[in-house]
Amino acid sequence: MTDIFSEPFDVIVIGGGPSGMMAAGRAAEMGARVLLLEKNESLGKKLRITGGGRCNLTNATADARKMAEKFGDKGKFLLPALARFGVEATLDFFHQHELPTKVEGENRVFPASDRADDVWGALVQYMFSHKVVIQYDVRIDGFAIEDGRVIGVKMNGGVVRAKQYILATGGKSKPETGSTGDGLAWLSALGHTVIEPDTALVPITIQDPWVRNLQGTSLQKVKLSIVHKGEKRKGFEGKMLFTHFGVSGPLVLNMSRLVRERFGKGKTELSLDLFPHTDSAGLDLRLLDIFAKNVNKKLKNGLDDFTLPSLIGALIELSELDSEKPVREITRKERLLLSLVAKDMRMTVSGFLGFQKAIVSSGGVDVKEVDFKTMRSRRYPNLFLVGDILDFNRPSGGYSLQICWTTGRLAGENAAASALVEGGPSGRSSMHQARSERDERSEFRIM
Ligand SMILES: Cc1cc2nc3c(=O)[nH]c(=O)nc-3n(C[C@H](O)[C@H](O)[C@H](O)COP(=O)(O)OP(=O)(O)OC[C@H]3O[C@@H](n4cnc5c(N)ncnc54)[C@H](O)[C@@H]3O)c2cc1C
């Protein structure tokens, strides 16, 4: 195979998403000569649409242990990495790179400008200032391996070589942004254990027409519980959104994995409690009060002070009451029914949206096969694995991107350190020498 570049690089990063950009920037900052390979015509397509274009870049969770707990059983693997580069260090990094941030509800951190593009810009500037070489529109066929080490990346009919390699090709959600799972297929072929990706943090489709009629309605601080084969399970509180296909929003996305585990194994419903902090008796008192003020109105016009106008029709429909009935004729039984339904609006799950609409995919490389102090593969000593290709379950709230910053930073740092200690054909035998050589380079970008 022909060498595409005459001189080898110290580090090659494959994938220009958030984890790859962080890794490339850090490796170059350490003094390594870095090549970033991206199959799209631009970097970070998914990053630029995160958080509805605002980018929830991390979660201001107090310490590494608390943050790791958010990742469930596998959080313990992430802990050594978070202890080295956690939330505070991440925020310091962005602040130093001229990206002020702000904290919103549930500790979600956003750029002060509310622009995901500014997060993207800070990373691009970071790479450019440390002279990362970027090649776009690449067609990669996988790794060239010799004696248990990666010796090159096969692409465009040739090979590019480096001493260390960082794989940052992402998972499978939103494939139109470039995340098509290519890296996972290569790793599987190399003998890494790859758990088959499925959609995670995904909107849920609902069959009941009343749900679709509410499309566009967003609810704050409600409670959703899974009802499986008629048995109600533990509920969760948060924000949700009705859509033309069913339900979405942070609460729904975070519950989607649990719902999926039961879906297909018996009737699976969601129970919506509009008033999680008031019991049925308390709600009945409230209704009594509201009805007393609206005795001459029809039921459909007498509930305005009870809940959102858009929900009133659904409440009456699910209670099987006559919306035209005057409030003064509503019986105690009917009133009690309304308050019970307001705490248990049932919807039947019919499925999930696909990879196109998922925030992240589940599955990926088995985390047992990665050293989380360095992000080095335990199978290939000069290969580092970062970002969404790692098999972690996580809630929404900035946790996915925190994995990218943490793992990208560590991989960049350790790949550069290994390459620079190694020295070799490019003539760099120490970090110091590499730094001064890098400073003399003028090229930082090729197309
Ligand atoms: C709509 C949406 C909103 C989101 N909002 C948030 C949020 O607010 N907060 C949060 O924490 N997370 C959010 N996420 C999740 C977050 O975007 C991901 O966790 C993150 O982008 C993963 O980064 P990554 O670098 O691992 O991979 P990706 O972002 O998937 O980047 C992978 C890169 O590798 C490139 N690539 C793939 N294959 C190849 C190949 N063969 N050759 C060369 N290059 C290749 C791709 O083109 C892409 O540029 C959101 C996701 C979506 C879809």
25 with 125, same domain: the answer is yes
Q: What is the pLDDT of residue 114?
A: 98
Mean pLDDT of the 424-436 span: 40
Count Cβ atoms within 10 A of the Cβ of residue 156 and give its class: 0-12 exposed, 13-18 middle, 19 or more buried: middle
pLDDT in tens, 191-246: 999 999 888 899 999 999 999 999 999 999 999 999 999 999 989 999 999 999 99
Q: Of 308, 327, 352, which closes a domain? A: 352
CB-based contacts of 62, cutoff 8 Å, min separation 6: none
Residue listed under structure tokens 């970027």: 134
**Cα four-point dihedral sign 33, 39, 45, 50:** negative
Q: What is the pLDDT of residue 205?
A: 97
pLDDT band, very low/low/confident/very high, at 7 (cuts 50, 70, 90): confident
The yes-or-no verdict on residue 116 having pLDDT over 60 is yes
Residue 314 domain-assigned (yes or no): yes
230 with 322, same domain: the answer is yes
Mean pLDDT of the 350-357 span: 91
* DSSP 8-state assignment for residue 326: B
Measured CA to CA, the distance from residue 105 to residue 112 in angstroms comes to 14
Q: Of 352, 377, 405, which closes a domain? A: 352
Over the chain, what is the mean pLDDT?
92
Choosing from 48, 50, 156 the residue with most ligand 1 atoms within 8 A of its CB, the one to mutate for a pocket test is 50
> For residue 148, how many other CB atoms are within 10 A of its CB?
9
The answer to whether the beta carbons of residues 360 and 401 sit under 8 Å apart is no
Question: Which residue puts its alpha carbon closest to atom 6 of ligand 1?
Answer: 50
Q: What is the pLDDT of residue 359?
A: 83
Q: What is the pLDDT of residue 433?
A: 38
The yes-or-no verdict on residue 109 having pLDDT over 70 is yes
Mean pLDDT of the 52-58 span: 97
Mean pLDDT of the 68-73 span: 92
Residue 122 domain-assigned (yes or no): yes
208 with 194, same domain: the answer is no
302 with 380, same domain: the answer is no
The yes-or-no verdict on residue 431 having pLDDT over 70 is no
60 with 39, same domain: the answer is yes
The yes-or-no verdict on residue 430 having pLDDT over 60 is no
Residue 1 domain-assigned (yes or no): no
Please state, in angstroms and as integers, the Cα–Cα distance from residue 332 to each residue in 233, 284, 288, 295, 335, following that order.
29, 9, 9, 14, 5
Residue 3 domain-assigned (yes or no): no
pLDDT band, very low/low/confident/very high, at 424 (cuts 50, 70, 90): low
224 with 250, same domain: the answer is yes
Question: Which range of residues forms the domain containing residue 409?
Answer: 9-198+360-440
169 with 293, same domain: the answer is no
Pairing of strands 101-103, 345-352: unpaired
Q: What is the pLDDT of residue 438?
A: 41
Residue 227 domain-assigned (yes or no): yes
252 with 334, same domain: the answer is yes
* CATH code assigned at 107: 3.50.50.60
159 with 301, same domain: the answer is no
Question: Which residue puts its alpha carbon closest to atom 52 of ligand 1?
Answer: 359
| Domain count for the chain | 2
What is the helix, strand, coil percentage profile of the chain, to 5?
40, 25, 35
Residue 138 domain-assigned (yes or no): yes
Count Cβ atoms within 10 A of the Cβ of residue 143 and give its class: 0-12 exposed, 13-18 middle, 19 or more buried: buried
Of all residues in the chain, the percent with pLDDT exceeding 90 is: 86
278 with 151, same domain: the answer is no
Taking the centre of ligand 1 as the mean of its atom positions, its distance from the CA of residue 26, in whole angstroms, is 18
Pairing of strands 345-352, 360-361: unpaired
Query: Measuring from each residue's beta carbon to the nearest atom of ligand 1, which residues come in under 6 Å?
Result: 14-20, 37-40, 45-47, 49-51, 55-56, 138, 140, 168-170, 173-174, 178-180, 182, 359-360, 387-388, 398-401, 404
Mean pLDDT of the 314-340 span: 96
- Please report which helix (H) or strand (E) contains residue 87, including its range: helix 87-96
pLDDT in tens, 369-410: 999 999 999 999 999 999 999 999 889 899 999 999 999 999
Choosing from 401, 405, 407, 410 the residue with most ligand 1 atoms within 8 A of its CB, the one to mutate for a pocket test is 401
pTM of the model: 0.85
Q: What is the pLDDT of residue 426?
A: 43
216 with 272, same domain: the answer is yes
pLDDT band, very low/low/confident/very high, at 446 (cuts 50, 70, 90): very low
Q: What is the pLDDT of residue 432?
A: 37
Query: Which two structure tokens, joined as six digits, stand for 291?
Result: 């009805």
User: DSSP letter string over 146-196?
Assistant: ETTEEEEEEETTEEE-EEEEEE----SSSGGGT-SSHHHHHHHHTT--EEP
CB-based contacts of 372, cutoff 8 Å, min separation 6: 77, 78, 79, 80, 81, 410
Top mean-pLDDT range of 65-69, 357-361, 428-432: 65-69
**Among 4, 32, 38, 6, residue whose Cα is nearest residue 19:** 38
The yes-or-no verdict on residue 425 having pLDDT over 60 is no
Q: Of 309, 334, 352, which closes a domain? A: 352
**CB-based burial, 44-73: b 16+ in 10 Å, e otherwise:** bbbbbebbeebbbbbbbbeebeebbebbee
pLDDT band, very low/low/confident/very high, at 173 (cuts 50, 70, 90): very high
335 with 394, same domain: the answer is no
Of all residues in the chain, the percent with pLDDT exceeding 70 is: 94
